[in-house]
Every structure is written in C-alpha cells, then in structure tokens.
Amino acid sequence: MLEFDDIQHFLLTRPRAMAARYGFLTIRNAAEGRAWLSGIIEKVGTGKVVAAGAAGDTRWVTVAFTWNGLRGLGVDEASLATFPEEFRQGMAARAEVLGDTGANHPNHWVDGLASPDLHGIVILFARDVAERDRCVREHQQYAARFPAVRALSTLDLEATPPLEYAHDHFGYRDRLSQPVIDGTGEVPTPGSGAPLKAGEFFLGYPNEAGVTQALEPEILGRNGSFLAYRRMQEHVGAFRQFLQQHGRSPEEQELIAAKLMGRWRSGAPLVLSPEKDDPALGADPQRNNDFNYAKMDPHGYAVPLGSHIRRMNPRDTAANMNRRRMIRRGGTYGPPLPEGAPEDGVERGIAAFVGCASLIRQFEFAQNVWANDRTFHELGNERDPIIGTHDGTLEFKIPKRPIRKVIKGLPAFTTVRGGAYFFLPGKRALRYLAGLTTRG
Amino acid sequence: MQNDWTKPAAVAIPEGGFFKAKVEQGRYGPIFPKTPACYGFSILAKIKPGTKQNFYDYAMRIEKAVAETPDCLAVLKLHYLRWVLFDIGKDTYFMYQGIFDTDFDKYTEDAVSIFTRTGLRTVFENLEGFPEDWHTNAPAFIKFVRDHQCPSFLEYGEYPYVSADEVKKALRLKAAFSNMLDQMQ
C-alpha cells in the first residue's frame, strides 16, 4: 500500500498549474538550514492532501536536496555513503555519460547548477502568475529569517499559449505518454502498458524485479525518489528555419516536424496517422497512445527509427521496458516566439524533472543509450533529433519507399543550460532531516 | 575508414585495455574500446572447489533455454559466446568470452535480468568472490565482472566492425535474392 500521506505529491499528482518558480538554494549553516526546513515542511503537499484538495488548491510546494545539500543539513557520512554513486557525484560530474559535451557541457551551465554549492530546490507550482508571485513574496519574507539559506538562482515558468493544452515552444503537445504507478488506482490509457510497481519510482517498495531499494537510516529513504533536473533551451528560430529549408510547403514542413518527433505537433501519433495530421486523435487520450512499433511499424516508415518518441519509449522494440520508465514533470520558461517572427535571441525552453528510483538505470540509461547512442537501432550516425547532443555533423534518416530521405548536418534544436540530481524525500524524511542534531 | 568491412584489420591495445587518450566513460565506469572484432569481454575466475559438474549441468540448461526461446539473449547484441574450463595446478578456472556489438555498460541491467531469467546465474554463483546479493546489487555484479575482465592486447577482424544485425541483414538479402532467382526459373 502506497503511503500517500507521506510521499510528496510531485510525482503522484498533476495539478493544473499555469505558473511556477524553481528556487535553487545553498545552505551555509546546517542548523539554520534545518530551521528553515522545519518551517516549510507544513507547506509541502503529500499525494493524499493534494489529491483531496485538487479543485480548491492554488499552489503546490515541493522540496528536494542534492547530495551536497544533505551533507549541508548534517546527514552523517555513513548515511550519505548509502546513496547511489551517480547521485553522490551529481549530474555535472556525469556529463560525459549523459552526453553533455560541447555547448551542453557543465562549463556553460547557468543558475549555479554545476556548482557544489547547489544544495536544494524549492519547486513552487501555482494556479496562475499572480498566485505564484504572492507565494514568492511570502517565502522571501520567511527565508529572510535564515540568512545562511541563500538563493543561488531562480527560474520562473509560465505555460506557453495557447493554454488549452500543454506543449513546448516548438509547438509539440506534451504529457502524452506517462507511466501509471501500481497502487494509485489510476487506469492506464490504452497502449500505455500495465501499471508499474511503485518501487520503480519510490524507495521502500518492491520494484519490477521484486527488489526493494532503501537507504540508511530507513526513514530517510522510504517514500523518496530521485529527480533529474534538466533546463533545456529550445532554439525555436533555428527549428522553424530547418523546417522551411527541408519542406517546400507548410504541409511538408509539418510532416518533417512530425518525423523528428514521431507525432504530429497536435499529438497525433504517426503510427496511427502517417499521412496527415489528425488533431482530434492527438487530443484523445483513449487513442493517442494506443500503438506499438514491432508489429505496426517495424521499419519506421511511419515513425523513423531515430525519432524522439521511438528513442525515449521504444515500447515493444526494447527489452525490459518496465525497468526504464520515468515520470516527467515541469514546464516551459521564456516568452513564446510569435509565428513568423525571427529568432530574437531570448532564451526559452523547457525546465523539467525526471522522477525515478534509480538515476543510473532509468534516467542515465535513457540519456546514454536512447538519446545519445549514435548506433541505436543500427542507425550509425544519429542521435535523438530533439534532445540529443548535436554539433551539425550527424544526420536524420526518414524511411520512405522506394528510397529513404537522409537529412545531413542536423543542427542542434536544443541546448542543455543546466541540470542537477536531487533527492525528493518523503515528509517523515523531511522531518527527520529537520530534526538532525549531529552537526552544527 | 573504420567501417570498411572489405579490409581486414588488426588493432594492438595498450596494457590495461584502454587507449588512454580516448577513454569513453560509461555509466558504470570506463568502456573498453571497440576494435575490428567489435566489443567483447574475457572474464576469468577461479571456480569454487567441487563445483565443476554444475558448469556442465548449466551448459545443458542454456542449450535448452536458447532452443526454446531463440531470442532470449537478443538484447545483448551478441555475435558469439564461449565458455571454457581449464586447470592451473590443482585449481580449475572458468573463462567466459563474448563478442558483441554494444559496449557491455549499455545493457548491464538487461544482462543481470537475463542472468536471472535464464538460469545463467548458476554458473557465476560457482565462482570465487561472486557477490551473493548480485541480483539485488547491480553495482556489485558489475564490479565483479570488471575485476575479472582480462582485456585483449590484440584483436583482429576479417570483416571489421560489422554488426551481427548487418550480417543477418546481408544473409536475409541473399536468401531473398536466391528465392527471387528461383522464382524466375
């Protein structure tokens, strides 16, 4: 039985938030850090509380820490040593494994995200911008009492119009394929697979291999998850220019955009609608995820083998998929670039979290093998066209009868501007952290 | 050109198994380089005294497992596997040598899962020093494999860098052409 009254709501619920702020923190003094944490714990919503108050709530708070942050709060070395190696190292140190090279390298990261001084994050989701700003002011007043808990940086996020559905700055509909956790009562949409064991996402429960992951002491790990944060700039001007360069008509351009993703920008999957867009299909959760590759599109004539969704969720063309699934949360930042407007040089993109129980087995595998392995599916010289690391030397192949189309010199449509690994503790663990007295 | 399969190639590998100037980092540590003989490993370990028969029993099980489920090892992108027992003095050693198309690091967890499902576990559990909690402790399993890996100092490929999938594709094409020509008679 999942402890909904202890697990932070972040990976369990998805309240309708139109604005957010991520506050990145450094803790200069353990006792003061714990005092700050003590006062904020009551604001942190659990799965149970947030689900119950879904209609009336206007803001949702989440707190998580880096390994350095846990040390900064006074967690002892024996306990710190029980955290997985990749988490202890932190995302910046794992850059090569993740493919964060060239322009994506941590040397270029912003917000202090590559710094060992990054200790924690407060994630605030709010119903709208006004509510976010009110909460920010309230927290600023509170935090002023703890000068040793300092903001390294902040990032404000707002939904990108049109607001009727979630999508990124490129215009792709988002939140189409998310795993369902066993025990939540949620029913998977057709094509989404059976619910996954809670241990794939939360420590303290059996995972798909029947193993229960834990930390020492048990209270610290139980109901916790690991988060991989990625701030990814989207080069909307370059993306639109690319579509114009490779598509003679607006229809052809839409098809190229769809081939890169594996879905039309409306969300309609190419497997089910290979020739033309079908917005009604894209918007219908009972149909828009109901497809496979091995039987329905083995050669990639609909969805190219190297397209984004075929890499990030190979469905029935990969082994042990149940051990690789992740839960995504996040949103868009920066102003939208109006259609037809030239690139304005303003940074815009996605700032998202990937939640899982094992960063190395789930998130790092997806980055290392699915996104950035050039030989994935025997492709030879490709990476994920949307989130892979690109320097203009790779290609993208679109299977087509009689002869495939090869786009050479694929540009980078995104740049990683920062990232970090966080541990998202349960609420009892937050109280345990706040109550530590071992160090000063 | 690295992918020119028409030109046999050999590569001499420095002591330690890595080309120091270009060591690629994998999730579980540095990756042994790809050579004309693709990726591979040679794991050598001493077997526990009195367990020799277990290896022969295990061989029967693997034969059966592959016969019943021919794609049970597909995820490992293998060309060949060889299992060898040999004696040094009074001790018996085990060598497990594989040639495959992806660095082992990429599909480590899948390998652990296959070990569990196919009963491959039984043979490794007869090796000295193999972690008893290996099926819940992937890092310990990986450490054992790395600690017992004996890297090559020379590798050769008659058709270098060609993947098993490419070989199979070529054979399928040959079969299709043969069939087509038969139909033309």
- Say which of B101, B102, B110 has its CB closest to residue A320: B110
- Give the pLDDT of residue B22: 85
Q: Do B102 and A375 touch (CB under 8 A)?
A: yes
CB pairs under 8 A between A and B: 47
Q: Do B165 and A378 touch (CB under 8 A)?
A: yes
Full DSSP string of B100-136: ESS-GGGGHHHHHHHHHHHSTHHHHTTBTT--TTTTT
- Give the pLDDT of residue B114: 79
Q: Do B26 and A85 touch (CB under 8 A)?
A: no
- Say which of A85, A320, A369 has its CB closest to residue B106: A369
Residues of B in contact with A323 (CB under 8 A): 109, 113
Which SS3 state, helix, strand or coil, does residue B160 take?
coil
Q: Do B109 and A364 touch (CB under 8 A)?
A: no
**Predicted confidence (pLDDT) at residue B1 exceeds the cutoff of 50:** no
Q: What is the pTM of this model?
A: 0.94
Tell me: cis bond preceding A217? Omega within 30 of 0 counts.
yes
CA atoms within 13 A on the CB side of A267: 21
* Structural tokens at position B171: 């054979």
Kindly report, residue by residue over A101-133, the tens digit of the pLDDT: 999 999 999 999 999 999 999 999 999 999 999
Query: B131-149 burial string, b = 16+ CB within 10 Å, else e?
Result: beebbbebeebbbbbbebb
Residues of B in contact with A369 (CB under 8 A): 106-107
Distance of CA B150 to the CA centre of its chain: 13
Q: Which of A82, A83, A96, A97 is the best residue to mutate to test the B interface, defined by the most B CB atoms within 10 Å of its own CB?
A: A97
Residue pointed to by tokens 């039309």: A264
* Structural tokens at position B137: 């402790």
Closest CA to B43 of B28, B29, B32: B32
Q: Do B75 and A319 touch (CB under 8 A)?
A: yes
- Give the pLDDT of residue A230: 98
Greatest C-alpha distance within chain A: 70
- Give the pLDDT of residue B119: 66
Kindly report, residue by residue over B62-114, the tens digit of the pLDDT: 899 899 999 888 888 899 999 999 999 999 999 999 999 988 788 878 887 77
Closest CA to A372 of A354, A386, A392: A386
Residues of B in contact with A364 (CB under 8 A): 27
Residues of A in contact with B74 (CB under 8 A): 319
- Say yes or no: domain B9-183 is CATH 3.40.50.300: no
Q: What is the dihedral of CA B60, B63, B66, B67, to 10 degrees?
A: -110
- Give the pLDDT of residue A322: 94
Nearest residue of chain A to residue B26 (CA atoms):
A97
Alpha-carbon span A81 to A87, nearest angstrom? 10
- Give the pLDDT of residue B120: 65
- Give the pLDDT of residue A439: 45
User: Within chain A, which residues score under 70 in pLDDT?
Assistant: 54-55, 438-440
**Predicted confidence (pLDDT) at residue B2 exceeds the cutoff of 70:** no
Alpha-carbon span A373 to A378, nearest angstrom? 10
Kindly report, residue by residue over B103-156, the tens digit of the pLDDT: 878 887 888 777 777 666 668 899 999 998 887 777 788 889 899 999 999 999
Q: Do B113 and A320 touch (CB under 8 A)?
A: yes
- Give the pLDDT of residue A440: 41
